[in-house]
């Protein structure tokens, strides 16, 4: 596997674990709601109110994670571009970034990377930049040394 494929696989693994976790949580909450409904003959749904809120939150998180997965599917690990775009590996004078999703540090055998989204503040600054360009983020100046 090439460098981008390794990074992309790490991102897919991260998102798939999140999706599985949210689905598991949703299933557990649904079981709890059903158990409460069966054990409660009264018209008291106060216990279910919190469960419904948790269900809604997890459904929202699941939706966001699914959208993140869709973003990853747009990345072609064999594509090379001159400017920073989705799927680019951007080596700067300070860090090396993988322009995909915001997952923080990704450590491989070859290097340490930061997985960031193009929608993040630093992603917005890097988007479309070329080798030799500089950006300033959090009072740190990053010179773009290489784009893969």
Contact 104, 115 (CB under 8 A): yes
pLDDT for 69-111, tens place per residue?
999 999 999 998 889 999 999 999 999 999 999 999 999 988 9
Residue pair 89/147 in contact (Cβ under 8 Å)? The answer is yes
Q: For the chain, which residues make up each domain, given as ranges?
A: 3-73, 89-147
Which two tokens mark 27? 């299933």
C-alpha 78: how far from chain center: 21
Q: What are the residue ranges in the chain where pLDDT is below 50?
A: none
What is the rounded distance in angstroms from the CA atom of residue 119 to the CA atom of residue 131?
20
Give the pTM.
0.88
């Amino acid at each position: 596997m090439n460098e981008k494929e390794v990074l992309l696989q790490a991102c897919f693994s991260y998102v798939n674990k999140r999706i599985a976790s949210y689905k598991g949580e949703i299933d557990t909450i649904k079981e709890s709601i059903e158990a409460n409904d069966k054990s409660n003959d009264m018209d008291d749904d106060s216990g279910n109110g919190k469960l419904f809120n948790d269900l809604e939150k997890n459904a929202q998180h699941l939706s966001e994670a699914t959208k993140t997965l869709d973003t990853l599917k747009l990345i072609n690990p064999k594509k090379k571009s001159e400017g920073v775009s989705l799927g680019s590996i951007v080596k700067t004078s300070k860090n090396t970034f993988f322009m995909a999703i915001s997952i923080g540090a990704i450590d491989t055998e070859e290097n340490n990377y930061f997985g960031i989204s193009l929608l993040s503040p630093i992603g917005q600054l890097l988007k479309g930049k070329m080798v030799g360009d500089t950006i300033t983020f959090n009072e740190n100046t990053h010179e773009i040394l290489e784009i893969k």
